[in-house]
């Protein structure tokens, strides 16, 4: 147990978290299997309300037929839907994949654009999906915030935000920009392995108990 009182300093908490996660997860492979920016974009879109493991089981069959927008639009929406059905929300996701592929061809010469504005204009692509693509496909500093990160940021009192947008802003202010792309994956890995939604609630895992050794009540996630 540390003798440092982390409860009084958000900056000290951030420093400890950054260093500890680097010790635990020095390597951060992207959880979604992909071979290029397009397949990453599609995989992230499919991961909405679906586990990465399930997406990785489904995408090989899809990408064997179409790992670029030109081949994707040769498939029908129905064909795409049948392949991605195990990921859930297949009617909506299949339309988004086909339509974004058409837009990439018409507006971007078949390339995935390397900027937030153009990415977020694509069907089915919100800010978090765009941030993952910018970070992992193009190496642009971004801090995609998913439910794991939003929850852990609240457990560690790094944010008072009730939504992922505010949490993203708070985390960007706390952590150095050069750490963002790796850190967001490290937090996800830690949340899945140690600080789970049911298993910790701010009371059990190593980081929570180090930062808040006297905490008695479980943290209730906001937003």
Domain boundaries, the chain: 6-28+143-211, 37-138
In the set 146, 169, 221, 222, the catalytic residue is 146
Tell me which residue has tokens 């009730």. Answer: 162
Q: What is the pLDDT of residue 82?
A: 98
Residue 188: pLDDT above 70?
yes
pLDDT above 70 covers a percentage of the chain that reads: 99
Residue 2: pLDDT above 70?
no
This prediction has a pTM of 0.92
Examine the residue annotation and report whether 74 is marked as an active-site residue of this protein.
no
Q: What is the pLDDT of residue 223?
A: 73
Answer whether 129's CB lies under 8 Å from 122's CB.
no
Q: Name the pLDDT band for 4 (thresholds 50, 70, 90).
A: confident
What's the mean pLDDT in 115-135?
A: 97
Residue 26: CB atoms within 10 A of its CB come to: 9
Calpha distance 157→152 (Å, rounded) = 8
What's the mean pLDDT in 187-207?
A: 95
Q: Which range has the worst mean pLDDT, 76-80, 130-134, 185-189, 196-200?
A: 196-200
pLDDT, tens digit, 9 for 90 and up, residues 8-31? 999 999 999 999 999 999 999 999
The architecture of the domain spanning 6-28+143-211 is Orthogonal Bundle (1.10)
Q: What is the pLDDT of residue 56?
A: 98
Q: Which range has the worst mean pLDDT, 52-66, 67-81, 113-127, 154-168?
A: 154-168
pLDDT, tens digit, 9 for 90 and up, residues 145-177? 988 899 999 999 999 888 999 999 999 999 999
pLDDT, tens digit, 9 for 90 and up, residues 86-96? 999 999 999 99
Q: Name the pLDDT band for 84 (thresholds 50, 70, 90).
A: very high
Q: What is the pLDDT of residue 185?
A: 97
Produce one character per residue of 62-88: b if its CB has 16 or more CB atoms within 10 Å, e if not: bbeebbbbeebbebebeebbebbeebe
Q: Is the dihedral of CA 167, 170, 172, 174 positive or negative?
A: negative
- CATH (one of 1.10.340.30, 3.10.150.10, 3.40.50.300, 3.40.140.10) for 37-138: 1.10.340.30
């Amino acid at each position: 147990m540390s003798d440092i009182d982390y409860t009084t300093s958000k900056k000290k908490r951030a420093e400890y978290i950054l260093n500890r996660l680097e010790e635990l997860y020095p390597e951060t492979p992207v959880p979604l299997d992909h071979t290029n920016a397009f397949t990453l974009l599609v995989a992230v879109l499919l991961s909405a309300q679906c586990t990465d493991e399930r997406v990785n089981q489904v995408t090989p069959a899809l990408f064997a037929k179409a790992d670029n927008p030109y081949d994707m639009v040769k498939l029908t929406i129905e064909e795409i839907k049948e392949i991605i059905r195990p990921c859930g929300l297949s009617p909506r996701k299949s339309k988004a994949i086909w339509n974004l592929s058409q837009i990439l061809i018409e507006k971007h010469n078949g390339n995935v654009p390397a900027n937030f504005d153009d990415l977020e204009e694509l069907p089915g692509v919100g800010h978090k999906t765009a941030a993952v693509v910018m970070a992992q496909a193009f190496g642009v500093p971004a801090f995609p915030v998913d439910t794991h990160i939003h929850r852990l940021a609240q457990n560690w009192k790094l944010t008072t935000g009730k939504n992922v947008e505010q949490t993203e802003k708070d985390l960007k202010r706390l952590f150095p920009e050069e750490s963002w792309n790796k850190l967001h994956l490290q937090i996800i890995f830690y949340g899945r392995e140690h600080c789970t939604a049911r298993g910790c609630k701010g009371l059990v895992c190593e980081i929570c108990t180090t930062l808040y050794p006297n905490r008695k009540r479980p943290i209730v996630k906001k937003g």
